[in-house]
Amino acid sequence: MSAAVVLDRQGLEDRASVESLEALHHERRILMRTLAPLKALHGPFGLWDAKRKQMSRACMVRARMAIIARHEKPTEAMVEAEALCDPQFVAFMDQAERDRIEYLCQQTQLDELEERIRSREIALQAYNSELRLAR
């Protein structure tokens, strides 16, 4: 894109008193750097449930081994109860809760940013219509 086109577009944005599209896109790209990994886990079709099951199974294996090491016969209820109290599983779930909250906050920021982009488009359409009417 030539410098003249960029300057003209910026001039139009200034005259119409709307935010720069390039600045909004830049803001969105920065937000996506931290939102994307959170969305991959906690968003639609995210991997969170698979990760939770993976951690749960690993903790259950450790719990079963610990019960056997104590020379007790492990029942599924014992294994599950011990696995759910495993400090690693508790820390994993606590971190997941913090990540889910952060995902929701950042997703809200993204939604608001996209609303600003749509609002900008509507403002430019209205500005162009006003210019046509003024002629």
In-domain check, residue 3: no
In-domain check, residue 56: yes
Looking from the CA of 103 toward its CB, the CA atoms found within 13 Å total: 17
The answer to whether 89 and 52 have CB atoms below 8 angstroms apart is no
In-domain check, residue 76: yes
Domain extent for 32: 19-134
In-domain check, residue 118: yes
The answer to whether 113 and 31 have CB atoms below 8 angstroms apart is yes
Q: Output the tens digit of pLDDT for each of the chain's 135 residues.
A: 444 444 455 676 777 778 889 999 999 999 999 999 999 999 999 999 999 999 999 999 999 999 999 999 999 999 999 999 999 999 999 999 999 999 999 999 999 999 999 999 888 888 888 778 877
In-domain check, residue 5: no
The count of structural domains within the chain is: 1
What pTM was computed for the model? 0.77
In-domain check, residue 12: no
